Structure 1
Amino acid sequence: MTRRQRGFTLIELMVVVAIIAIAAGVSSLALRDADAKTLDQEAARLSALLESARAQARAAGLPARFELASAGNTDGAFRFVNLPPAVKMPTQWLDSRTSAEILGARALRLGPEPLIGAQRLVLRLAERNLTLATDGLGPFVVVETPRP
C-alpha cells in the first residue's frame, strides 16, 4: 500500500514566495512617480555636468562657476561661466518645470582649486525636492533634503 502525499513541499512554497516577491518589486517600480523619476534624472545629469565643468576648470586653471538664470533671462535656466571656449555646456533643464536654488551663494564655485568649499543646491520639480551637495573635496552628490 502506498501513502498519498497531501500538501506542498518546502521547495514549492519557496518558489511561490519568490515569484510573489519579484512581481511585487516589478509593480512598485512601474508605479513610481514620474516627477520623482524626472527629478532624479535632473540631479544625476547636473551632478555629472558640475563634475565635468570642475575638471575642465582645474585642467585650464580657470575660476569657473555655475550660475542660475536671473528672472526674465531667456538664454537658459543656468550657465557655466569662465570655462574654456571649446567647452560647450547645456543651459536648459530636461524638464522645463524644474527650478533650482543655490543655498548661501549666488553661484557654485567649480575651480580651479582642488578644494572648493562646501556648497549646496536644491532642485525642485512640482512638490519634490532634491539637494545636491559637495564637501568641497568630493563630487556633487544627492544628499538628504533637510525638512523645514
Structure 2
Amino acid sequence: MPTSVPGSSATAAPSRLRASGFTLIELMVVVAIIAIATAGVSFAIRDSAAAQLDREAQRLSALFESARAQSRTSGVAVVWHPVDGGFRFDGLPDKALPDHWLSSGTYVQGGPAIVLGPEPIIGRQSVVIASTAVPQRSLRIETDGLRPFTVTEPTP
C-alpha cells in the first residue's frame, strides 16, 4: 500500500489562494458598456429644437398634400393662410385638418398664401418656416406645381 510522504503533492494543501474581486479588464468592460448604453439613451431622448423644426416642416408638407388631394376630390379651391399661432385652410370643413403648430415657437417668414387646388397642376409655390428656439435656421416647403411639396434648406 502506498504511503504518502509529507510535503508531496498528493497530500499538500493548495499553496496559493486565489484573490477574490474583479480584474481591471472586467471593470473596464463594464464601464464601456455603461458608457455605450448612456450614449444610446441620450440620443434616443434628445429632442432638439432643430429636430422639432424638421418635424413641423414635414408635417406641413403632408398637410399641404392632404389639402391638395381634398381640393381635387371636392372640386373646391383650398387656400392655406398663416395666422397668429397657427394656420388656416380655407375651403375645407372646420377641423378637417389641424390648424396649429406642434411647437409654440414656430412661425412663417413672410406669410404668403398657398393655393392648393382644385386644378391638378398648381403654380410654383413655397413657404418658409422658422422657430424662435433656433432663429438662425429656417426650412422651405415648396412645390413646382407638378410634384409633391418637399422640404429644403432655403438658399441665402
Do these two structures clear the TM 0.5 threshold for a shared fold by scoring above it? yes
Query: Does residue 91 of structure 1 match 2:99?
Result: yes
Structure 2 unaligned residues grouped into runs of 5+? 1-35
Aligned length: 114
Confirm whether residue 112 of structure 1 aligns to residue 125 of structure 2: no
Q: Does the aligned pair in 2 maintain the 1:102–1:120 contact within 8 Å?
A: no
* Structure 1 equivalent of residue 28 of structure 2: none
- Structure 2 length-normalised TM: 0.65
Alpha-carbon separation, structure 2, partners of 1:41 and 1:91: 15
Letter paired with 1:38: Q
Q: Conserved in 1, the CA contact under 8 Å of 2:125 and 2:142?
A: yes
Unaligned 5+ residue runs, structure 1?
A: 1-22
- 1: CA distance between counterparts of 2:56 and 2:75? 28
CA contact (8 A) 1:102 1:108 kept: no
Deviation at 1:30, TM superposition (A): 2.5
* CA contact 2:56–2:102 (8 Å) conserved in 1: yes
1:133–1:141 contact (8 Å) kept in structure 2: yes
Q: 4+ residue runs of structure 1 moved beyond 3 angstroms?
A: none
The correspondence for 2:138, drawn from 122, 129, 133, is 129
| SS of corresponding position for 1:48 | helix
What amino acid sits opposite 1:110 in the alignment?
A: L
In the aligned structure 2, how far is the partner of 1:87 from the partner of 1:56?
Answer: 13
* Aligned residue in 2 for 1:8: none
Kindly state the Cα deviation for residue 35 of structure 1 after the two structures are TM-superposed: 1.0
- The Cα RMSD (Å) is 2.3
Displacement of 1:87? 6.0
Q: Does 1:57 align with 2:65?
A: no
Task: Tell whether the 8 Å contact from 2:138 to 2:153 is kept in structure 1 after alignment.
Answer: no
Seq. identity, %: 45
Residue in structure 2 matched with residue 30 of structure 1 by the alignment: 43
One-letter amino acid of the structure 2 residue matched with residue 139 of structure 1: P
The residue aligned with 2:13 is none
Q: Partner of 2:62: helix, strand, or coil?
A: helix
